[in-house]
Structure 1
Amino acid sequence: MLKLGSTLKGYAIEASDGAIGSISDFLFDDRTWLVRWLVVDTGNWLTGRKVLLLPTALGKAEHDRRELPAALTRAQVEASPELSEHEPVSTQMERHLYDYYNWEPIVGDSYFSENPIASRFSAPPLFGSPPAAGTPAISRDDSDPHLRSVAAIAGYHILASDGAIGKVGDLLIDDDGWGIRFLVVDTGNWWSGEHVLISPHAVKEISWAEREIRLNVSRDQVRSSPPWSPLGDIDPVYEADLRKHYDWPGRS
């Protein structure tokens, strides 16, 4: 099911023996647009601590209850490797997590795998705030250059091939396969506050330094795309029409 990332944030994570916390962010791979990690805020249970969980360790979402079950115990999560809140996730940290939980890395098929972002910039800190004084920095060589924060992208300017079209308002995530299927663009003053959907297939580059996402589609293409409301559903017919309009590949 396609769900807005903003609505998935706050979903409770339930271990086999009790609550762990709630989703505060998603980390995705910019080569495949697959969510690699869920960032979970443990709240009052492990005060001030956030943990990373692999989407494949979770069961099917219960949307009515805003919950996701996890095949873990609270003791396992509590003893898991800790990450720094003010640094990018290092490849070493990812390896520690895979080893600790005996998880396999997510390298599955994705229909975005042949359209990576040609980014020339390093990822920003994981939680968007500067490191505290005296915090040892993760070297650029050890940070994962393809791991991106969904929360960090919110508000980024969207540039078509011939000019600006708005800002990132949200992302549509498939909570079955945990792929990011569309960027929700708030067109603001350019098109009287209309919202449009843009596939990651259209993304040429993300500039973290300039907070911009550059596309390979024109403003006219965006204006003539099938209309969509943030209150509306994404049914297969609408998605097929949208992909046909832009000539985007997609699922049959």
Structure 2
Amino acid sequence: MPVRKVRPGPRVLTAALCATLAVIGYMTVSPEEATPPAAPAPRAAAKNAGPQAAPLPAAPAAPPGVGPVTRTQIPDSTSQALVVTGKTRDTNVATAVLYERDGTGKWRQAAGPWTAHNALRGWTTHHVAGDLRTPIGVFRIGDAGGRLPDPGALLPYDQDEEFVSPGTGFLGEPLEGSFDYVVAIDYNRLPGTTPLNKERPLGPERGGGVWVHVDHGGPTQACVSLPADVMRQLLRALNPVREPVIVMGPADEIAR
């Protein structure tokens, strides 16, 4: 009989995936108003001036290899990022590194690098079902599961026999065991639910079921895959308190 953990209800994401733009207003004045008043007589400096406003904290720096444009998609509240980069848009072998941000705002390498696979035809900024490309961008990762028992995940973990992957891959390799451990990528899915949830907010034509899962030795349909021991390590490291994200795509585009 499958073991299933009681999962919390859908979680409300508290951080937007884009930067806030500041809006500056201007005031129009008449020529009379534009005339400067006479300078007042000199005054002695105030002895007990009130406290000055503290400067606003700088936005957190970006993980290594992540450029300023991509950085704007990472919520300021996020302090854990799995960065997956390929050499070009058309490659299906990638490198994955887990970074964490400390209390000073600096990002450090927490684990990796690891060799990963992505989709057969590479990457895309407009993923559609069947294009055999992995979506480029920054996405939340907050739900996990798999066919095997929970290895100690901090994320909500759904053990279910439905995590099956029959057949063979693009290189003729067996797919069995690929879904022993998975982490759902919040692309066209309902966050806060099992990775098996098939709701597609963008519509089925935009694909779905994009996961980080166990590597089977070849390219994927759209997912990112890592070795089984790395998946266990990742599941024990990803912490929902840190609001983790995955940053993925060709290295040159992520660096913009």
TM category, shorter = under 0.3
Greater helix percent: which structure? 1
Greater strand percent: which structure? 1
Which of 1 and 2 has greater Rg? 2
